[in-house]
Amino acid sequence: MKSLQHPRRLSSAVALFGVCALLVTGCTRDTGTTGGGTEGGAAAASPGITDTTVSLGISSPLSGATAGPGTCSVAGLNSYLEAKNAAGGFAFGDGKTRQVTLTYLDDAYDPAKAVANFRQLVNQGMFAYVGALGTPTNAAVMPIANQQEVPQVLLMAGAGEFSADQAANPWTSGFVPTYSTEGAAFGKLLVDANQPITVATLAQNDDYGSGYLDGFTAAIEGSQVRVVDSATYEPTDTSVDGQVTQLAASGADVLLSAVSVTPLQVGVLTKAQSLGWKPRVFLPSNTSTPATVLQPGGAAAYPDVYTPAFAKTPASPAFANDPDVQEYTKAFEQYGTSITKTYTPHCAWSYAEGAVLGEAFATMEEPTRESFMTALRGISGFTAPLLLPGITIDTTKEDQAAVSSVNLVRYNGTGYEPVQGY
Amino acid sequence: MPAFLTAGRLRAAAVAVVAVVLVLLPLVSSPYVNYQVTTMAVFAVALLGLNVVMGYAGQVSLGQSAFVGIGAYVAGYGTLNGWPVLLSFVVACLLPAVVGMLVALAAARLRGLALAMVTIALPIVGTPVAKRLSDVTGGSQGLTVSWLEPPSWVALADDQWRYYVVVLIALGVFLLTRNLVRGRVGRSFAIVRDNEAVALSMGISPYRTKVLAFTLASTIGGASGFLYLAVVQYTSPETLSFGTSINLVVAMVIGGTGSLVGAVLGAVYYVLVPVLAGQLDASRTALLSGAVLLLVLFVLPGGLVSLPRRVHQLLTARRRRSATTPPGAPDGQAGTPALTSDGVAP
């Protein structure tokens, strides 16, 4: 009996696999033909764009450790696009008005899943891939996007590689300022103070940390600002107390804390003050949210906490009467809150990104991906909603992201306010 | 059951159908489907390696992603430095094998939870090491490659060519592993899994057998890493992450431990469920995947591989009540309950 049972089970299971495989083929080919149908609408048009619609896609981490920023990178964008759709749609450079649909998928910060999602979106007839969050996931998609000539634009990733080489990757562009842009902005603030300042640095031991340090080091070169001690940590570390204790011994005036992990950044703020070391602190833009980092970390104890910013914080009382913020809040409550439960700055950033897309649509003369890229690369001096005064979108710079400058803001105990020098 | 439907003919017919489907699939489906099926083949190999050590030899390993990652990095490094593909493949298998053996030489002295802890260390140490060795690994930005394009004499697209290469290598690995686990080595694995004292009394060294199982698992993991790079064309420290290891263990249990077919079904689950969950509601993929996991484990504790047997049992229970083996009886090949007690407890 046994000798009979095994082969039968094996064959049935194998057959089951075959059926599954066929099922997948069947399902997806259906959607594939739908995508082809849209294509047939206008002969010269790229896939995913008709006379009345254009479909965009995004794959971000919607589950797992990076879910907060990941869901916000979708929610803000969706809010802008849907609000604009509800108001009639986007006016395009070819004289037509189109509704924009956004399809979003979860990659859980896994590069293989991001590639699968990208291919799925292309298969479903996506016109352009926009605003995806994550360095490894976008790095995995980049070669495929450029090979297939699908726009992979306005990425929510601060690594320099997405904006550095436009000749090699003409279909890829970044949105948020690169890490080194942020580091350089802080270096400049210290240099402008024109006095001897000592700095201690704590940086994540990868290109995230080195991006900040490179920008900072380049900015303070030849000035009176001196780095007296530095330490690194691994993103997988559960505590940075040792590093903070080491840096505290230097008694530096300023701490540059290029830490990307929220609990660790809280640990930096609590540990340094428990040692009696209260330098002025510089935090990166993605770990400087008052509610999740500064208040738990007791940041009010420090003479000054700076962070780079390029967008308004919608929750801040300072912007309560700002028309941009009011419009954002209205759209977000309607179209964003179902996607994310937590606020990170990425919600506001991706909202502004939606406006940049609108600006590109307005100047794109043909319904093609080439025309879209040309339009997107030609935006300069554009004031997107929610951007801080003085910050504009400039996509014409060869080696910079769409937002290539930042303002520094200072923590005042409840929110952020503009900095008036060191 | 009609007389012509003997088990042998059914099996031959099923194998033929699968073979035809596997050959024709890439020619008629979209690049996306080819990518997904190829990814299934990649993870089927990774799960196969995990199955060798956990399913057949009964030792807990939570570090399989580290070997997949090493294999992928070796393949990536080889490609970027112009190694022949064959050399990349051999080194992508050998280096994880050596690492796996070195760890196993120390770890195989431990049992149960202590052993599990040692294997957890691999991805946890591996991820930061991969970030630090940025000259070789490209740091946290990873390695992007562009290789395994079809030779000029083959009229196939990239995705079709990669599909055939990957599926062929995967079939080869499965065939070799099948012969291995059904032979002397497989029997020694089973004895060590079930009772180390008995193994010892029969002249089988549990220690050597465990080291062998770990080494084999890491070799196969390395091979799957090579295939991973062939499909994804990119690798980063995320590939080694502990989360991937856990997901692989989950997929193996879902597919069915100690079973070759289980490894394939586990891979189908690993790739397909997130996609289906994403189509239902992209904001709640983790929740939906968790629900599916619970459902499968409740309905089919033996994994997906036990589904045909369960159906078969239900269909034939009435007719052959006296002849059938008791449900769930181990037959030494497949369908043994997930995580046998000696697999987790000393």
The answer to whether the CB atoms of B331 and A205 lie below 8 A apart is no
pLDDT at A286: 83
Residue in A29, A139, A205 closest to B144 by CB: A139
Weakest-pLDDT range from A12-26, A210-224, B83-97, B147-161: A12-26
Residue range A1-9: mean pLDDT, rounded: 47
Kindly list the domain boundaries of chain A, sorted by start residue. 53-177+318-404, 180-309
Kindly list the domain boundaries of chain B, sorted by start residue. 31-324+333-344
Which residues pair with residue A256 across a beta bridge?
A: A201, A282
pLDDT at B320: 62
pLDDT at A1: 41
Burial pattern A214-233, b for ≥16 Cβ within 10 A else e, equals: bbbbebbeebebebebbbbb
Q: Is the pLDDT of residue B329 over 70?
A: no
Strand runs labelled E in chain B: 143-144, 234-235
Tens of pLDDT, residue by residue over B128-154, are 888 888 889 988 778 888 888 888 888
pLDDT at A413: 84
Rounded alpha-carbon distances, angstroms, from residue B55 to A390, B82, B119, B214: 62, 37, 16, 12
The answer to whether the CB atoms of A1 and B325 lie below 8 A apart is yes
The answer to whether the CB atoms of A18 and B14 lie below 8 A apart is yes
- At A308, the pLDDT band (50, 70, 90 cuts) reads very high
Q: Is the pLDDT of residue B335 over 80?
A: no
Residue in B29, B234, B334 closest to A25 by CB: B29
ipTM value of the model? Answer: 0.76
Q: Is the pLDDT of residue A353 over 70?
A: yes
Q: How far apart are CA A294 and CA A311, in angstroms?
A: 18
Burial pattern A101-114, b for ≥16 Cβ within 10 A else e, equals: bbbbbbbbbbbbbb
Contact A422, A193 (CB under 8 A): yes
- At B332, the pLDDT band (50, 70, 90 cuts) reads very low
**B303 to chain A: nearest residue by CA?**
A13
Residue range A197-221: mean pLDDT, rounded: 92
Residue in A15, A116, A135 closest to B141 by CB: A135
Residue A106 sits at the chain B interface (C-beta within 8 Å): yes
For B58, residues 6+ apart whose C-beta sits below 8 A from its C-beta are B189, B192, B193, B194, B340, B342, B343
- At A412, the pLDDT band (50, 70, 90 cuts) reads confident
**What DSSP character marks residue B336?**
P
Q: Is the pLDDT of residue A417 over 80?
A: yes
| CATH architecture label of A180-309 | 3-Layer(aba) Sandwich (3.40)
pLDDT at A367: 95
The answer to whether the CB atoms of B286 and A15 lie below 8 A apart is no
Question: Which residues in chain A touch residue B144, judged by CB atoms under 8 angstroms apart?
Answer: 139-140, 142-143
The reply to whether the predicted model has a pTM over 0.90 is no
Residue B139 sits at the chain A interface (C-beta within 8 Å): yes
Radius of gyration of the CA atoms of chain A, in A:
24
Q: Is the pLDDT of residue B342 over 50?
A: no
- At B4, the pLDDT band (50, 70, 90 cuts) reads low
Residues 157-186 of B with CB under 8 A from A: none
The answer to whether the CB atoms of B312 and A236 lie below 8 A apart is no
The answer to whether the CB atoms of B128 and A235 lie below 8 A apart is yes
**A32 to chain B: nearest residue by CA?**
B30
Residue B237 sits at the chain A interface (C-beta within 8 Å): yes
Write out the two tokens for A343.
């606020």
Q: Which of A328, A330, A326 is nearest to A348 (CA)?
A: A328
Q: What is the mean pLDDT of chain B?
A: 87
CATH fold of A53-177+318-404:
Rossmann fold (3.40.50)
| Number of neighbours of residue B297 by Cβ within 10 angstroms | 15
Weakest-pLDDT range from A74-88, A160-174, A244-258: A160-174
Distance from CA of A422 to the nearest CA of B (A): 33
Q: How far apart are CA B144 and CA A169, in angstroms?
A: 13
Better-predicted residue by pLDDT, B328 or B78:
B78
Provide, rounded to the nearest whole percent, the portion of chain A with pLDDT above 70: 90
Q: Is the pLDDT of residue B49 over 90?
A: yes
Write out the two tokens for B209.
């057998």
| Number of neighbours of residue A147 by Cβ within 10 angstroms | 12
Weakest-pLDDT range from A49-58, B189-198, B284-293: B284-293
Distance from CA of A278 to the nearest CA of B (A): 30
Residue B247 sits at the chain A interface (C-beta within 8 Å): no
Q: How far apart are CA A227 and CA A217, in angstroms?
A: 9
The answer to whether the CB atoms of A24 and B18 lie below 8 A apart is no
CATH fold of B31-324+333-344:
ABC transporter involved in vitamin B12 uptake, BtuC (1.10.3470)
Write out the two tokens for A333.
């409550």
Question: Which residues in chain B touch residue A135, judged by CB atoms under 8 angstroms apart?
Answer: 140-141
**B305 to chain A: nearest residue by CA?**
A13
Distance from CA of B232 to the nearest CA of A (A): 6
**A27 to chain B: nearest residue by CA?**
B33
B interface mutation test: which of A3, A12, A117, A161 has the most B CBs within 10 A?
A12
Question: Which residues in chain A touch residue B8, judged by CB atoms under 8 angstroms apart?
Answer: 7
A interface mutation test: which of B1, B68, B231, B234 has the most A CBs within 10 A?
B234
